[in-house]
Amino acid sequence: MPWLFLLLALGAVVIAFTTTSVPLAAIALVLSLVFVVIGVLGLLAQRVGNQSRSEAMMVDPAELRRLREQADARRAAAASPVDDPARTPPTGP
């Protein structure tokens, strides 16, 4: 659809350059400017729409809370000292 507005803008420019009437040329130039703006905004809207994320891929608050709790549990497990027999110094003579 935006390409249609850009083609209309091109047609308006052609009309503006081929007419001998000054008011018609001015109207055609204004229309071409309007059509170019509408066409470019339409192309930008399509680009933004194509890059937006799907709502199905969003994480709901309960799932986000569960993931945060898992991450906190992992951090707490990593921070606690590990009872590794290979790391403990020998005791006694």
pTM for the model stands at 0.56
| Contact present, 28 and 19 (Cβ < 8 Å) | yes
The span from the CA of 33 to the CA of 39, in Å, is 10
Q: Give tens-digit pLDDT for 14-61.
A: 999 999 999 999 999 999 999 999 999 999 988 887 777 666 677 788
Residue 35 CB partners (closer than 8 Å, separation 6+): 5, 6, 8, 9, 12
